[in-house]
Structure 1
């Protein structure tokens, strides 16, 4: 390879032998327009394009004869590549989304996790990738994973990452999320998961969506029983996990700011009953600011 590279560099030099004297090609070298240069030499000099590297990663992952370890390495490389918005958009341009989404059905848990990770990274703050992921059925499959009680917990965590990325700050995605039974899937997740990080991420997603589209999201949170389930989680973990408690209270504060009558009388009573002990445990200026505590309590009393 080194000798080839050296030969290529020498034969393609534009250096004149003397001023005004035209350099003549070596006798055994064809005219430049007819010469075929070894692609390996070009790759060695310029490096492969990101598009080529993405295709190679997809091909490696698709290869039934490739080892799981090598597929995991290919997934790692692909995930780093799609962090760049142009590369994420190229997934659709190169018609790679169908193949990528097919990887969500791998039998190996580690590969399902990494496939979801790639999808979730590609759709972050990227409207074109969000649309492509949803149009190719990625959202539907990820939501099915969330409500599958037999699915691995880490797979569900990464599925939530992909779902969240595909609908945040993207109204058509939120509309499709509702059509695909997204709220019901998240309710099942809250009811069946005892993984605290997953519970935190789910509640935080509700708060984000409330800020994005308060009227529609508030209605679904109440009608689908999500507010009642959050109160149950608060009663179960409220004095054990400060971060989860904070996210639940902030979400209820956002909910009540935008839809003061969204909680049932029973839910209002239960949540109001929980606040004094939580305020005492975490302090009036730690979990929420003093003004936020007052606002939450006032909204629950109206």
Structure 2
């Protein structure tokens, strides 16, 4: 508070040198000094706005965009559980009377809150309907943006978090692993590859390996090694192949043949790709 007082005096006097020495005060302290709501109150109010049937969709979207910015702060993301906001957020997400843009924003909020955040992952994991709802939206939604955000939220939730992955596996989340160079958009393929990377972040258990083989993962990765594909898509594919190699996953002879053929196809793009992953991918099929 003393720093805030010195800052206020320097601000009123226009003393730039003093302001530079003092630095920018804590926004929370400023809010308290001038009577503005703290961030926890703003988070609760944002959800209340969305739940209010009298509020327009446009204002609900603005409220969620504000919440999305707030939870980029780790402390605010971790405060979702303390404020008892996970359940209302999931109730909104599961209510198809809300439009796709609103539900897509909810998915984005979930994905950001749990991303690289073990506490929020654990908090979200308390709600059994959470991952179930994410998987249902990822599998059944006809809206591409909604599907992409569902996959993002799932990937964030299960990355480096085995309890989340175990629920994902139990709920047949592997049905989401659909890679297709012809029918899928590049964005969708990228999201599916990110999901595979998140699965592999939990290691290669016998069950995971069985799922990979059941899904013909080597074949699906090989079809993405195409010089017509976007370099980002090829790079992500090479990264997955590299991860599998480091996890000692053994491709079948047929898969090795297909991947090797794909690597030859993209040889001309090597200056635009991650060379470490490219070399590791070559090693994975050289045996």
Query: When the two structures are superposed, what TM-score results if normalisation uses the length of structure 2?
Result: 0.79
Deviations 1:120-177 (Å, cap 9, x if unpaired)? 11112222221222321221111111111x5200001111111111111212112222
Q: For the Cα contact (< 8 Å) 2:221–2:259, is it kept in 1?
A: no
Deviations 1:193-250 (Å, cap 9, x if unpaired)? 622122113213323442441345444322333333222333xx54331111121122
Q: 1:204 pairs with 175, 189, 194, which one?
A: 194
The equivalent residue for 2:41 is 52
Q: For the Cα contact (< 8 Å) 2:156–2:198, is it kept in 1?
A: no
Q: Unpaired segments of 5 or more residues in structure 2?
A: 1-30
Q: For the Cα contact (< 8 Å) 1:75–1:115, is it kept in 2?
A: yes
Please identify the structure whose Cα radius of gyration is greater.
1
Q: Write the distance in 2 (CA, Å) between the matches of 1:292 and 1:126.
A: 27
Give the aligned CA root-mean-square deviation in angstroms: 2.5
1:129 aligns with 2:120: yes
The equivalent residue for 2:261 is 273
Q: How many residues align?
A: 253
Q: Write the distance in 2 (CA, Å) between the matches of 1:191 and 1:239.
A: 9
The equivalent residue for 1:145 is 137
Shift of 1:76: 0.8
The equivalent residue for 1:119 is 110
The equivalent residue for 1:282 is 269
Pair 1:44–1:260, CA change in 2 (3 A): closer
Q: 2:224 pairs with 220, 233, 252, which one?
A: 233
1:184 aligns with 2:175: yes
1:91 aligns with 2:80: yes
Q: For the Cα contact (< 8 Å) 1:215–1:258, is it kept in 2?
A: no
Pair 1:121–1:288, CA change in 2 (3 A): closer
Q: Unpaired segments of 5 or more residues in structure 1?
A: 1-41
Query: When the two structures are superposed, what TM-score results if normalisation uses the length of structure 1?
Result: 0.75
